[in-house]
Chain A
Amino acid sequence: MTLAPQRQTGAAPQPSTAASEPRRRPGAGAYPWAMSGAVAVAVIGAAVSLNGVLRGWAWFLPVLTTILVVSLTMAGLRALRAQPLLVTLGGFVSLLFILIFTFFRRDSIAGFIPSDATMTSLGRHLRRASETVLSESSPVAPNAGIVLVTCAALGLVVILIDALALPLGMPATSGLGLLAVLVVPAMIKPQSVGLAGFLGTATGFLLILACSQWFAPDARVQADTARNPGQIKRAAMTGAVALVATLVLQLVIPGFDQGTFPQGSRLNPWASSSGLNPMISLGNSLRRPSGDGRITYATNATTPLYLRSVTVDRFDGEAWSPDDRNSSRRTGPGRMEVGHEMLAPEQVRQVTVVNTGDFTSPYLPVPYAPEAVNGLTGRWSWDPATLSIRGTDTNSRNQQYLVRSSAPKLTTELLDGSSAPVRGIPDEFIRPPANVPEVVRTTADSVTSDSRTAYEKAMAIQRYLRGGAFTYSLESPVQGGYDGNGLSVLADFLTQKSGYCIHFASAMAVMARVEGIPSRIAVGYAPGRLTGATVSVAGQGALPEFEVDARDAHAWPELYFQGLGWVPFEPTPSRGQVPPYAQDSSSGGASTNDGTNDGLLPTNGATPPPATTPDPLPLPGGGEARAGNQTVAMLYGAAGGLLLVLIATAPRMVRTGLRSRRLRGPAARTGQAAAPLAWAELRDLATDYGVRPLPSETPRAFSARLSSSPALRPAPHPNAPDARAPRSSGHLEAETAVHGLTTAFERHQYGRPAAAGPAGTAASPDPRAAQEIAVVRKALRRNAGLLGRLRAEWLPPSVMSRWGSLAGAPFRAVARGVARAGKAAAGSWTRARDGLRRLREG
């Protein structure tokens, strides 16, 4: 009952469309502005959630101007009653102009007209952006390239939403565009989209829906909302499907089963090497409370043992990554040697047996400094400068090996006495980074102002970092937007004074470099826990077994002292164990951790459920897999999933779209083409339910066949005469509907053209066709079996055969061409033969 008035209001303006066009012109009024405003609000809301993917807020202003300029341009064009295509085109042009104006003002003509220089500059920006995306972890620095890409993407989203909501008349579908924006933070940021972003997006989306309802200039969009009484049912269905999809999808997509989307393991459920930047994955490994990537080792060492995978020694650039000197790598870790002079009077030799289990990385975790590694399978190579061991054709999964390592027995005196100038190591360990932030330099200078020797300086820095001013926190870098690495992150860290091992280690390494001490960052594992078991090792007897897992992932600085080699320090409070030579005489063992790693877990108490997938610790990336990045991979994954869903639902969506366009499109409403459109729909409908129209059939013959077919006329049940009555009434209704559609089509198709389109019939919108189609559809659905119904709705034969014939068209054309060529060849051969024969005879 509630339908009637709405339908009337919807239909009322329709009859006067042609006549009232000029009169309504000034009345475009608020509608375009309101719609564009709503779109802008939605997109801005979605953009807010990008904070955390991009660091800080500096990027927001250009994004804001882009969105506003594009949406206002489109609103203005629409207010001038431009063609929808023109409006969209205008959106693109305005996007282009505002992007050029924002980013390439100096490289373009008059500030917004692109020129050669603009293109060059654009190439540079895009290169920068792709480098950032490939190499950095979130949050990335908002450099011009990234912001440009963001602005362009959001501008396109504005145009997309606008196109969906207005000319295409699918305001609800426009949420797809917003989703495209929200997916990025949802996948990348640990705290997901965030409340502000979500609220902003939702508000904007609701505004879009509301505006299209309130302001819709014609009945088309308005009528959408109250088209039929099945609305609630359909809404419930949609909701249920969405719910199921969200529940199922997250199981299907690897990595979704945890709240904070651990990076690196995603799309990589089979635990092959992920080739990621160790600096990126380290923080995530630490935040993961489950014990993945468990490694056990047994050692005869008396001091706690750090297992080291890789080093980071170049501190330039936006992001740091392990430096692979591929050219200088040597094969065979059976015998390794340090590349520098070693003057320490006493060497401590250790034997360690490591079992890597399912820990997967191209790099091998070994105690420093390895002299020989035996028992490995596959081919391995080692870098003389850093002694990192990497598989050339294999990885660390399920390796058991014996490492013989030796380290000088270091004492405070030895270190303090090592004052000889540094030589014999590559320059890249010595050279301070080019653009050290001021805060790092000043901090380093002030901390080490009282120190004379290198050792004192190192101790001063370590003391400064371990002191009470800094707190160990896995969360604050994320919240503060400086989770990651790089010099700018370091600056943030020194200001915020909160972070975890990567920050402490890099702070100490960079500050030491600044102060002239060669340094590098080692990445690996802090000493683990005793398992209580023992492992018997040949020649060593039973050795106690230790275990480490992802939670023990660690980074620490190594400083070079001439004659003593690389000396590890421990600047991270509450982590690892401070070696004896680096302990302050004053604070002594107070800060020494007892080795149980109690302080490892984040203190926020909220413990996400343990991961169910075996999750390898994605440690250092090899050269062959460097290009891979989890963000890109994730986006590909999401896109792939969406694509699959799209492919699965495409036939149905195409079919539904076709139907609604035929029955409720403007052409159907003006009445000019309503009958043939409805007829085409009837034919397709019948095709879907197995009554395929024959090409030689007249409309009447087809409709007669349809009416008498079992698809529409069910065989009466012999045992249930009472069940026949309602059935036959529905069937009669459907038959009448088919007859009505046929008659209307015949009149249109074969009748006098003057009679088909007089003003009287054309002006009144004819809802009959849609109703009749609905009746027929209902009857067909009722009579079809479950399979038939499913096929008709999800794989409609009408759509499938059309696609099939489309797909076959090129082949048919080729076949025709071949046949024609064959015929021509045969003809010319016959002619030639005849000519020859005639020649011979004549």
Chain B
Amino acid sequence: MEPHRRTRMDEEIVPGGKGFAERAAHGGNQLNGHKPGPLGPQAFRAASERILSAINTVIDGKAEAAKLALTVLLAQGHLLLEDVPGVGKTLLAKTLARTIDCSVSRIQFTPDLLPSDVTGVSIYNQSSRQFEFRPGAVFANVVIGDEINRASAKTQSALLECMEEHQVTVDGHSYKLAEPFMVVATQNPIEMEGTYPLPEAQRDRFMARISMGYPDKESEIEMLETHQATSPLARVTSVVTSADVAAMIATVQQVYVSQSVKEYTVAVGRATRDSAMLRLGASPRSMLQLLRAAKATAALDGRDFVLPDDVVAVAESVLAHRIILDRKAVSTGETPQSVIRGVLAKLPVSQEMTESVHASRQARAAELRPSR
């Protein structure tokens, strides 16, 4: 059974026999040792624009979703695409992977998929008379997990563990996964029979959840025309290397977060926990991910510091799938998204007034000092 297939067979990863490094399972474009330095604002902007425009040539009218996907990639998170079939979830994931010159693997989750299919397995090599590690589908830069809710809980958790740890442990050996590493999982909310929907605890590991939504009329007509003859995916060529992506990720890590933005982020989390409409608020881990996503957003916006706006921009996508509504809120027709919006609308933007008051006080004090 071959549950996964490589999209770029020419670079198929074969464990390097004798040269197989035990603690760094070689997969994809692993950047050996040396970490790329952060990019300058121009280079960053150029790279991100290349990626986004490449995606937009394939998927019409989904610029927001594309941007969010890139955001998650740069924030080193994982993406959960949740929507009805046929709106381009897989296409988005594939396109994102293709625009980057990196390895991609796709796992079609089925109920009989085994954890070892995901992570890999140690096989006894008769000729060399020793165990060899045969990496699973997860050893790629971008891993697309289609219909993740169809797999058994055991397999799901195997993948989720990889997502969290960025490494695979088989037979007491740990194998590092490729960097950059991103899982794009899709989930189908319709046709739920015989599925194992991700429990809340596991949804928490995805940085963001996006609903693709239907394209608008013009985009749909456009799609009918362009996608008639050939698959649009065929036209996509990689526009950045994985080294570029790693550099971009490094850039995102360098984005500055001021104290007041940190406070604001924490305040958002606390507000969801205090909200009367929520049974379960946002976890501290989600705060971490929210801030990381905000940093990526800021970088994509060409800034080297985070604004509260960045937090607001990603809050809905990052938080909505982690919170659980109260029964009463459900009965009044609230959705997680609307609750997050309500929380943000009530939350004062941290410290702004007090700081400007402080500044004006400083100004007054300066005025009383002897004139120079």
A residues whose Cβ falls under 8 Å from a Cβ of B: 13, 17, 20-21, 24, 81-85, 166-169, 217-218, 220, 661-662, 665-668, 670, 672-673, 676-677, 679-680, 695-701, 746-747, 749-753, 755
Contacts and interface: CB of A to CB of B under 8 A. Distances in A.
Interface stretch (B46-54, B159-167, B227-235, B352-360): B352-360
A668 B363 contact: yes
Contact of A676 (B359, B366, B370, B371): B359
Contacts of A662: 360, 363
A701 B349 CA distance: 11
B260 A677 contact: no
A678 to B, nearest CB: 10
Given A695-B348, A749-B258, A751-B258, A700 B371 contact: no
B308 interface: yes
Interface string B198-209: 000000000000
Contacts of A679: 356
19 contacts: A20-B372, A83-B369, A166-B371, A217-B372, A661-B367, A662-B363, A666-B363, A666-B367, A667-B360, A676-B355, A677-B360, A680-B356, A695-B349, A699-B307, A701-B309, A749-B260, A751-B258, A752-B305, A753-B258
Contact of B305 (A166, A167, A168, A747): A747
Contacts of A661: 360, 363-364, 367
Interface in B295-317: 304-309, 312
Contacts of A166: 371
Interface of B: 256, 258, 260-261, 304-309, 312, 344-349, 352-353, 355-357, 359-360, 362-364, 366-372
Nearest to A683: B356
B308 to A, nearest CB: 4
Contacts of A699: 307-309, 349, 352
B245 to A, nearest CB: 24
A666 B371 CA distance: 9
Nearest 9 CB-CB pairings of A with B: A667-B363, A695-B348, A673-B359, A698-B308, A680-B356, A752-B256, A676-B359, A751-B305, A676-B356
B307 to A, nearest CB: 5
For A168, A679, A697, the residue with the greatest tally of chain B CB atoms inside 10 Å of its CB is A697
B345 A667 contact: no
Given A84-B368, A677-B360, A749-B258, 9 more contacts: A84-B369, A662-B363, A666-B366, A667-B362, A667-B363, A676-B359, A699-B307, A699-B309, A751-B304
A218 B372 contact: yes
For A13, A17, A166, A701, the residue with the greatest tally of chain B CB atoms inside 10 Å of its CB is A701
A673 B309 contact: no
Given A749-B355, A752-B305, A665 B366 contact: yes
B179 to A, nearest CB: 26
Contact of B307 (A83, A218, A696, A750): A750
Nearest to B311: A698
Contacts of A665: 363-364, 366-367
B372 A696 contact: no
A476 B367 CA distance: 53
A698 B372 contact: no
Contacts of B305: 746-747, 750-752
A22 to B, nearest CB: 11
A699 B350 CA distance: 11
A662 B366 CA distance: 12
Contacts of B304: 751-752, 755
Contacts of A749: 258, 260, 352, 355
Given A217-B372, A666-B366, A696-B345, A750 B261 contact: yes
A666 B308 CA distance: 29
Nearest to A28: B370
Nearest to B349: A698
A673 B363 contact: yes
A697 B366 contact: no
Nearest to B261: A750
A750 B306 CA distance: 7
Contact of A677 (B261, B312, B363): B363
B363 A696 contact: no
Contacts of B346: 696
For A85, A666, A697, A747, the residue with the greatest tally of chain B CB atoms inside 10 Å of its CB is A666
Nearest to B343: A696
B100 to A, nearest CB: 29
A668 to B, nearest CB: 7
A750 B344 CA distance: 19
B64 to A, nearest CB: 17
A835 B372 CA distance: 71
Contacts of A698: 307-309, 312, 349
A667 to B, nearest CB: 3
Given A673-B363, A752-B256, A81 B309 contact: no
Contact of B360 (A83, A680, A696): A680
For B306, B364, B366, the residue with the greatest tally of chain A CB atoms inside 10 Å of its CB is B366
Contacts of A217: 371-372
A672 B309 contact: no
B356 A696 contact: no
A220 B363 CA distance: 14
A751 B256 contact: yes
A751 B258 CA distance: 7
Nearest to B256: A752
A698 B347 CA distance: 10
B362 A673 contact: yes
A746 B360 contact: no
A538 B359 CA distance: 87
Contacts of B367: 167-169, 661, 665-667
Contacts of B309: 698-701
For B307, B312, B345, B355, the residue with the greatest tally of chain A CB atoms inside 10 Å of its CB is B307
A753 B363 CA distance: 18
B258 A750 contact: yes
Nearest to A83: B370
